[in-house]
Structure formats: structure tokens, C-alpha cells
């Protein structure tokens, strides 16, 4: 008498079934390969069967006594989801908190409205003004110590455009890195375009280190008393090259100072000098 075929299509003789305690099924399962699929089977029964040793018949899912490797007894193994322990699990709340911290740090250090970001941009802006001053000095050397002048100029682009391309071919220095102004074509005059800096037209190289020559775009072009607003105080135009964190001031001797949004000293505009803002 035989039992139904096992997983590999073999017939299991009844004389190899032995229900003695020493051959009893241990009930411990493992994954064993078969022709059609992988199945869970008692480890002891499987190896006793494969070695030709007696093994205990066990009931299948229908209650009938079958070979432990019978297809009717064993069901295909299903994928099991393993849940991480409480200590190692990374919960949704922890993930959201991590993302929130990353966003906060990013906004503090890398957005245009952050103090740290604008501090770095001010340093780069200062380098721009230093390069512009070199070109202005060369212009003054060729023009009786006078800096560029264009009669009836309404904005700073017209006089400063005279520096290009003879005294400098690098136009990116006229765009403040803290602003959102568009890049200028290289080595081409920009009188019809927009730059980022204000300019005191009518100055000479001999006017002294306390006289303003250039600066970041200003809130307006009127003379200022100490404490008056010279740059944007809320991050909105005009005068917001560095959002609400002030800007740079360059004087006739080439020195550059960082200033808050409010003037730390009076800003005087003498006769013959016109303070020009860039185009809005």
C-alpha cells in the first residue's frame, strides 16, 4: 500500500512509515525545494525520508495520514514580513522630525533670507567692489583723477558702463551675489541693462576716505542722517541686495565697510555729486 506521491513525484511505500516515538515528527519546519515551489516541511521528516529511513506519517490539512513530504500535506511557503524591534525601528514621527530639522538648518544657512547666507554673500560682494575700484582707479588715472561721469544719467548703469571693456572685461563684478539680478554679457557695456550697485557720480580719487563712492543698491538716493534707513529693513526692494541685513559701502580711497540697514554715520551728498541707484 502506497501513499500519494511526494513533492518530487515519487511514491512513498507504507512500510517506510513508522509511528514509533523515535521517528515522530518534530514539528520544526524549514524551507525545502520541490519541483513546483518551495515548501515548509519538518526537518527531521525530510532528511529521514531522503535517507531512506523510517519516518512517522502525519495528518495533512484534510486530516488524512500522509507522507511528510506530500503535496497534500505541505502548503507553499509565503513571504513573511519581519517587523523590526522597537529599539531599531525608525518610526514615521522620527522621520518627520529628521526632515523638519534638515529643512530648518537649510533655511538658516542656505536661503537668501538667512543671516549666515547673506554674511557669506557680503564677503563675495566686497570682492566685487574691490575689483571695480581697480578699474575706477585706472579710469581716474586717464581722466585727471575723475571717476566716470555721464551727463544727465538717471541710473548708475550709464557711468559705470564706461569702464567696460577698456578698464575691465569682467562684467560679473557688477552683479551682487546676494541679489537676484541677471548675469551680464561678458566684455560688453551694460548701460541698457541692470546692475546691482549704487554710484556717486562726480567724485574724484582725491575726495578722501570718508566720502561714499559706491555701495549696494540703496533704499533711496536722499542724504541720510545717522540712524536713517539706507538699505531695506524688511528684505523688500529697493535696497535689498542682502535681504534685510544691510550692505557694503565703498569710499573714494577704496576702503569698504559693511553696514546694517540703518546708517551708522551721516551720508552727505555735496554739490556737483549725484547719487545714482541702479535700475529698479
Q: What pLDDT does residue 61 have?
A: 53
Q: Give the gyration radius of the chain's Cα atoms.
A: 42
Spell out where the chain has E strands. Answer: 2-3, 12-13, 29-33, 38-42, 58-59, 65-66, 197-201, 212-216, 247-251, 256-259, 274-276
Predicted confidence (pLDDT) per residue in 240-263, tens digit: 999 999 999 999 999 999 999 999
Q: What pLDDT does residue 110 have?
A: 62
Mean pLDDT computed over 10-32? 44
| Residue 117: count of CB within 10 angstroms of its CB | 19
| Residue 176 CA: distances (Å) to CA of 173, 203, 248, 267 | 7, 22, 10, 22
> Which grid cell sits at 29?
519546519
**Which of residues 212 and 20 earns the better pLDDT score?**
212
108 pLDDT band, cuts 50/70/90, is low
Report domain extents, the chain.
2-66, 118-276
Q: What pLDDT does residue 100 have?
A: 85
pTM, two decimals, is 0.63
Tell me which residue of 242, 165, 148 sits closest to 199, measured CA to CA: 148
Predicted confidence (pLDDT) per residue in 124-139, tens digit: 999 999 999 999 999 9
| Residue 237: count of CB within 10 angstroms of its CB | 12
Mean pLDDT computed over 46-53? 63
Q: What pLDDT does residue 67 have?
A: 55
Q: Taking the CA of residue 248 as centre, how many other CA atoms within 13 Å lie in the half-sphere pointing to its CB?
A: 26
Most confident of 2-11, 118-127, 135-144: 135-144
Q: What pLDDT does residue 16 have?
A: 44
Q: Is the dihedral of CA 59, 64, 70, 76 positive or negative?
A: negative
| Residue 121: count of CB within 10 angstroms of its CB | 19
Distance CA 262, CA 228 (A): 5
Q: Are 279 and 157 in contact (CB under 8 A)?
A: yes
Q: Taking the CA of residue 152 as centre, how many other CA atoms within 13 Å lie in the half-sphere pointing to its CB?
A: 0
Q: What pLDDT does residue 8 have?
A: 41
| Residue 10 CA: distances (Å) to CA of 24, 69, 70 | 22, 10, 10
Amino acid at each position: 500500500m502506497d501513499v500519494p506521491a511526494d513533492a518530487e513525484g515519487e511514491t512513498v511505500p507504507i512500510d517506510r512509515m513508522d509511528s514509533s516515538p523515535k521517528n515522530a515528527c518534530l514539528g520544526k519546519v524549514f524551507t525545502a525545494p520541490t519541483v513546483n515551489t518551495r515548501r515548509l516541511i519538518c526537518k527531521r521528516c525530510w532528511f529521514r525520508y531522503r535517507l531512506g529511513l523510517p519516518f512517522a506519517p502525519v495528518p495533512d490539512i484534510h486530516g488524512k495520514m500522509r507522507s511528510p513530504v506530500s503535496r497534500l500535506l505541505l502548503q507553499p511557503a509565503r513571504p513573511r514580513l519581519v517587523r523590526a524591534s522597537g529599539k531599531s525601528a525608525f518610526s514615521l514621527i522620527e522621520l518627520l522630525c529628521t526632515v523638519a530639522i534638515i529643512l530648518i538648518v537649510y533655511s538658516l544657512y542656505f536661503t537668501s533670507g538667512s543671516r549666515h547666507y547673506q554674511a557669506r554673500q557680503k564677503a563675495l560682494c566686497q570682492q566685487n567692489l574691490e575689483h571695480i575700484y581697480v578699474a575706477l582707479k585706472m579710469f581716474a588715472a586717464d581722466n585727471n583723477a575723475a571717476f566716470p561721469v555721464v551727463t544727465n544719467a538717471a541710473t548708475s548703469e550709464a557711468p559705470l558702463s564706461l569702464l567696460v571693456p577698456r578698464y575691465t572685461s569682467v562684467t560679473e563684478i557688477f552683479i551682487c551675489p546676494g541679489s537676484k539680478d541677471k548675469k551680464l554679457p561678458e566684455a560688453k557695456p551694460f548701460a541698457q541693462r541692470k546692475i546691482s550697485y549704487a554710484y556717486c557720480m562726480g567724485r574724484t580719487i582725491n575726495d578722501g576716505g570718508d566720502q561714499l563712492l559706491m555701495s549696494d543698491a540703496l533704499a533711496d538716493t536722499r542724504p541720510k542722517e545717522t540712524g536713517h534707513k539706507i538699505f531695506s529693513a524688511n528684505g523688500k526692494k529697493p535696497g535689498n541686495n542682502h535681504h534685510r541685513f544691510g550692505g557694503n559701502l565703498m569710499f573714494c580711497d577704496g576702503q569698504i565697510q559693511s553696514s546694517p540697514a540703518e546708517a551708522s554715520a551721516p551720508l552727505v551728498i555735496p554739490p556737483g555729486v549725484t547719487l545714482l541707484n541702479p535700475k529698479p
